[in-house]
Amino acid sequence: MAAFLVAEARYYPHLNDMLLAGAKAAIAAAGHTHEVVTVPGALELPGAIAIANESGQYAGFVALGIVIRGETFHFEIVAQESARALMDLTLEGLAIGNGILTVENEQQAIVRADPAQGDKGGDAARAAIALFDLAGRFAA
């Protein structure tokens, strides 16, 4: 049993609840435990994970958030920079599942976040667990 940290950008609470439910269910189904921390937005997720990693308490991390396209270039910055920073941390050896949805509208977010439909929160948790398992395989 390993402990995973679910870091969520809770900008859209009603949508995040679905992502979080999927992630929690996937972690529990794999026999692991989890804690949840909340940050204001997707850009803060990589920082939160980097800070939490320093504690040595977690086997892996799940980043959850939703970025909905607006009328400005901000969408592209948030989507690209949060993904890039999470990838940088992954390449440093952290087991991270990226569950940051980048969508055009709320309806797309619902379809992807809902555990009964897209279950992207669960997918992100399963990705983190897969990377954790892979690290264990190569450490042995």
Is 29 annotated as ligand-binding? Answer: no
Query: Which stretches of the chain are assigned E, i.e. beta strand?
Result: 3-9, 33-39, 60-68, 96-103
CA–CA distances in Å: residue 77 to residues 5, 34, 62, 82, 106 = 25, 29, 21, 8, 19
Is 98 annotated as ligand-binding? Answer: yes
Query: Can you tell me the distance from the alpha carbon of 6 to that of 81, in angstroms, rounded to the nearest whole number?
Result: 19
3-state secondary structure (DSSP) of residue 129? helix
Query: Can you tell me the distance from the alpha carbon of 115 to that of 18, in angstroms, rounded to the nearest whole number?
Result: 6
Q: Is 74 a catalytic residue?
A: yes
Is 68 annotated as ligand-binding? Answer: yes
Is 112 annotated as ligand-binding? Answer: yes
Is 94 annotated as ligand-binding? Answer: no
Which of the following is catalytic: 14, 32, 34, 74? 74
Is 16 annotated as ligand-binding? Answer: no
Is 43 annotated as ligand-binding? Answer: yes
Beta pairing partners, 103: 68
Q: Which residues does the annotation place in the binding site for 5-amino-6-(D-ribitylamino)uracil? A: 11, 42-44, 66-68, 98
Output the known binding site.
11, 42-44, 66-68, 71-72, 98, 112
The catalytic residues are 74
What residues form the annotated binding site for (2S)-2-hydroxy-3-oxobutyl phosphate?
71-72, 112
